[in-house]
Structure 1
Amino acid sequence: MRVISGEFRSRFLKPVPGDKTRPTTDKVKESIFNMIGPYFESGSFLDLFAGSGNVGIEAVSRGMHHATLVDKQYAAIKTIKENVAVTKKQDNFSIIKSDANLALNKLSQEGRTFDIIFLDPPYKNQKMVDHANIIKNLSLLNSNGILICETDNSVHLEDNISGYKLINQKNYGLTVVTIYKFLG
């Protein structure tokens, strides 16, 4: 696993040890950024199920000013910290050890908002529409913000979720990436 492009290009990142996380592959990660960017001049990024921190680190490498990386597993948080250290830009990252719903509430209470939110929960626990609604209700996405959902190919997401408009969807075999624009 590596950073594909931008400031941290070609730096290798560690995967989370064990089998409790499923990292976003380099192929899928590159495709996601080609669909939404591929480069940015600023902005804030939230990865709600960060695993190794791989996608958020890629976002900052490509020009996002800040990435917030959330995961509830100790091993994931340890790996995220090690991977963020590889960037030598730790101030561009916030790392939160928390359950996703608790983290969303905390971020809302702090008045935080994001330009892009990435959802890639464990495939057996995917509640994308529920999370999209919580994000909308807590006003966590900036106007015209982007919500990216990475799902198992057995999950069917609606074209338009209340408050969001589908802008792109790609199937990568076992993985499907669905991108929505926030209409708020």
Structure 2
Amino acid sequence: MRVITGIARGRRLKEPQGLETRPTTDRVKEGIFSSIQFEIEGRRVLDLFGGTGQMGIEALSRGAAHCTFVDLRKEAVGIIRENLKLTGLEGQATVVQGDALAFLTRCREKYDVIFLDPPYASDLLKKAMETIPAIDIVTENGIIVCENGSTTGWPEVEPPYRLQKEYRYGKVRTALYRRLAGPPQP
């Protein structure tokens, strides 16, 4: 696992031992960042199920202004901090150890880009996609990037949010949701 491009390009990132964390593959990560490459620079990012921190770190490497990382597990939070230090990006990051849904309910910030990659077998993606629009923490024209297993459907959302694109990488699927600008669309 490495940083693909930007100021930390080529840096190898640490991964936890065991199967509790499932890092996004380089192929999937490249596909995601190809689809949002012009949406990163100067933006505020939330990596909600941080794991190793690689998605938020990739965004910071590509010019994001700030990234908030959230993970429940102490080991994952430690690895995110180590990876930020390895890449020299710790000054542009906030790392929070805690429950992702509880973080959302307390959140008072708005984000331009949100990465959601919870455990596939859980219902956390659905719950996060219910909570985020309800508290409206995505800026106008902001995006939510979701990852799940190939057999899982995408959560329905109400305007001004909409599912914009879907991609498939073998057994992994990703989706890009956008919060449209202006009043809700019919």
Same-fold call, TM > 0.5? yes
C-alpha offsets along residues 69-88 of structure 1, whole Å, 9 cap, x if unaligned?
Answer: 11001110111110000122
CA distance in 1, matches of 2:39, 2:145: 16
Comparing 40-49 with 30-39, greater Cα deviation is found at: 30-39
SS of the aligned residue for 2:5 comes to coil
- TM-score for both structures, normalised by structure 2: 0.91
Gaps of 5+ in 2: 182-186
In the alignment, what sits opposite 2:170?
173
- Offset of 1:166 from its aligned partner? 1.9
CA distance in 1, matches of 2:97, 2:162: 30
- Offset of 1:161 from its aligned partner? 1.9
In the alignment, what sits opposite 1:114?
111
CA distance in 2, matches of 1:173, 1:126: 21
CA distance in 2, matches of 1:14, 1:126: 27
**RMSD between aligned residues:** 1.4
CA distance in 1, matches of 2:86, 2:65: 17
SS of the aligned residue for 1:177 comes to strand
Q: Which runs of 4+ in 1 moved over 3 A?
A: none
- Offset of 1:40 from its aligned partner? 3.1
Amino acid at match of 1:120: D
Contact 1:72 1:98 in 2 (8 A): yes
CA distance in 2, matches of 1:38, 1:130: 28
Contact 1:126 1:151 in 2 (8 A): no
- Offset of 1:39 from its aligned partner? 6.5
Question: Are residue 162 (structure 1) and residue 158 (structure 2) matched?
Answer: yes
Q: 1:10-159 maps to which residues of 2 (within 5 A)? A: 10-37=10-37, 40-107=40-107, 111-157=108-154
* Number of residue pairs aligned between Structure 1 and Structure 2: 180
Amino acid at match of 2:129: A
Comparing 148-157 with 131-140, greater Cα deviation is found at: 131-140
CA distance in 1, matches of 2:31, 2:66: 21
SS of the aligned residue for 1:178 comes to strand
CA distance in 2, matches of 1:40, 1:117: 11
- Offset of 1:13 from its aligned partner? 0.1
- Offset of 1:38 from its aligned partner? 5.0
Amino acid at match of 1:86: L
Amino acid at match of 1:162: E
% same residue: 38
C-alpha offsets along residues 23-57 of structure 1, whole Å, 9 cap, x if unaligned?
Answer: 00111011101011156330111111010000100
- TM-score for both structures, normalised by structure 1: 0.92
- Offset of 1:91 from its aligned partner? 1.5
SS of the aligned residue for 1:145 comes to strand
In the alignment, what sits opposite 1:8?
8
CA distance in 2, matches of 1:41, 1:58: 11
